Structure 1
C-alpha cells in the first residue's frame, strides 16, 4: 500500500486548464442551469433503475463538453457517462490511453431531477488510467475545486477571482469520524453489517452526489468517502483531489486506485492512520461469501 496515487506528469498547461474551466461553465450556463427545476416528466428517464436517472441536461451538457475537449485534445479518449451507457466498450480503452478525459455532466442526477441543488459536474484527465487532473464544479455556486499531480487542491471562484488552497481534516478515531458511504450500493449481504458499523461513526450518510461528497472531503469538512460500484467519471477526480489536499487514497484491499478498475471499494480518507482505522472496521466488505469460496476452491482443484 502506498501513501498516494502513482504520480505521472500532468500534460495540461495553464491555458488548457483555463479552457476546460470555461468550457464546463459554458455547458452549465447553457444546458444545465436553465433546465434546473424546469424539467417535465418527459425530460427524465430511467437507465438501470428508479435510482439511476438521466435527463436532457445530462445528455446535452456532456455532448457540449465532449465536443470542446475534442477540439482542445484531438487525440484524447473521451469517456462520458452518457456515451458509455450506449457504448460500454469505451471504458475498456482507459488503461491503454495516454490521455483520457472522463465526464460526469450532471453528477447527482437524482437530486437534480427532483429539484435539489446538490449536484455538480465532474471531469478528470487520466494517463493510462491514473488521474492527473481533477475538477469538481458546483454550477449553482459557480465555483470549482481543482487539482493536478504534484500540486495542491484549490477552491476557485471565477467571478470573485478567489483561489485558495484546501486541506483535508485531521482525522481521528472511528467514533469521531464523519463521512460518506453508499449503503444502498453494497451487496445485500454486506448492508446489515455496514448499517451496524454506521452507528459507530459520529456521522455517516450519503449525499447521492460524488461531486459534493469529494468536495466536502477536500475542504476538510468530513474525514472519509467510501465508493463502491466503481465508475471512472464518478471517482477519478475525487480520488486525485483528496490526495492533492493531503489525504490518503487506496482501494480497500490496499492496492493503488486506477480509473480502469471496475470492481472493489475505493476508500479516500484524511490520512493514512485514519484510513487504516476505517479499513479495519470495514474489512468485512472484503470477505468472500462461503458458497462463493467453495465454488472457487472446486474450480481450482478441477
Structure 2
C-alpha cells in the first residue's frame, strides 16, 4: 500500500473514533442547518479537525479542500479532498449508512482515495494504477452487462430542487428498465459499492467534490467507467456523475442524458 494511503487511513480511523463515540449519544448533539436539508453537527467538525491534523502533520505543504472548513492552499500541486462524515442526515437519525471520504488529488486529478464505513469497519482504498481494495482484498466491479439486470444507486435532490423534474424523468424510466434502484443517502459509499460490485451503476446530480473524489477513483481502478452527464471527466467540477460497469454504464448514460435539459450542467 502506498505510504500516502497509510496516512489517510490513520486519519480516517482517528475521525471514526470521534464519530463512533458520538453515535451512542445522538440525542445530545447540536444540529445546525447550513441550508435547507443540509445539516452539520459538532461531530462533523471534530472529525474533520482530527483528519486534517493527521494529514498536515505528515504532509504540511499540501492543500486542503474540506466540506466544513473550506479550502486552503488551493494553488498547491497536491490537495486533500475531505468529507469527514458523508451522510450526516443519516447519522443524526441513527440510520446506519454514513462514511468518511478522503482523497488526494494531484493537479485536480484524484491519485489516492479511501472511503471508510466506521459501522461495518469496511475500508475501501484505491491508488491510481494500483487497483482498488476492500480491507486489503482486491475488488472489481460486477460482471453485469444488461441494464435490465442491474441494481442502481442514486441520490434524490435534497438541497436544490431546480432539477427535480429532470431527475424524476430519469428515475421513472430507469425504474422500469433496471432490476431496482436504491437511495441509501451517502454518495461516497454508493460509489464504493459500485467499485466492489454491490451496485452495478450509479448516478447523481449536484454533488460536491468531497462526495465523490475517492469513490470515482475506486470505480476506475476496479474496472468501471465514470463520467459527467456529457460523457466527459468533469464530474468534480459539474457535480454530476454517472458510473457503472462498462456495459451498464454504456446503457445508463444515454438515458440520463436524454433528461438533462437546459437546467443541468454538462
TM-score (norm 2): 0.90
Q: Does 1:285 align with 2:259?
A: yes
Which residue of 2 is the match for residue 237 of structure 1? Answer: 214
Question: Which of 246, 249, 260 is the equivalent residue of 1:275?
Answer: 249
The superposition leaves residues 86-139 of structure 1 with CA deviations (integer Å, 9 ceiling, x where unpaired) of xxxx38x75x53100011111111111111111110000001111101100011
Question: Which of 62, 73, 79 is the equivalent residue of 2:65?
Answer: 79
Q: Does 1:45 align with 2:20?
A: no
The superposition leaves residues 150-176 of structure 1 with CA deviations (integer Å, 9 ceiling, x where unpaired) of 0110111xxxxxx21001012322222
Which residue of 2 is the match for residue 188 of structure 1? Answer: 164
What are the residue-to-residue correspondences of 1:112-127 with 2, within 5 Å?
A: 112-127=91-106
Change (3 A) 1:126 1:190: same
Which residue of 1 is the match for residue 12 of structure 2? Answer: 24
What is the aligned-residue RMSD (CA, Å)? 2.0
Distance 1:277 1:36 in 2: 40
Distance 2:249 2:195 in 1: 15
Which residue of 2 is the match for residue 98 of structure 1? Answer: 77
Distance 1:145 1:42 in 2: 28
Q: Does 1:142 align with 2:116?
A: no
Question: Which of 213, 216, 221 is the equivalent residue of 2:193?
Answer: 216
Distance 1:256 1:54 in 2: 29
The superposition leaves residues 231-285 of structure 1 with CA deviations (integer Å, 9 ceiling, x where unpaired) of 11101111000001110111120211363x0x252111111x3212111111223
Which structure 2 segments of 5+ residues have no match? none
SS in 2 for 1:225: strand
The superposition leaves residues 203-223 of structure 1 with CA deviations (integer Å, 9 ceiling, x where unpaired) of 112111013212211111111
What are the residue-to-residue correspondences of 1:251-270 with 2, within 5 Å?
A: 251-257=228-234, 259=236, 261=237, 263=238, 265-270=240-245
Aligned length: 260
Which residue of 1 is the match for residue 50 of structure 2? Answer: 64
Which residue of 1 is the match for residue 151 of structure 2? Answer: 178
SS in 2 for 1:103: strand
Off by >6 Å, runs of 4+ in structure 1? none
Q: After TM superposition, give the deviation of residue 193 of structure 1 in Å.
A: 1.1
Distance 1:39 1:264 in 2: 30
Distance 1:274 1:140 in 2: 29
The superposition leaves residues 60-93 of structure 1 with CA deviations (integer Å, 9 ceiling, x where unpaired) of 0101111221111111111110112xxxxx38x7
Q: Does 1:55 align with 2:41?
A: yes
SS in 1 for 2:130: coil
Tell which structure's C-alpha radius of gyration is larger.
1
Distance 1:101 1:208 in 2: 23
Q: Is the 8 A contact 1:174 1:278 kept in 2?
A: yes
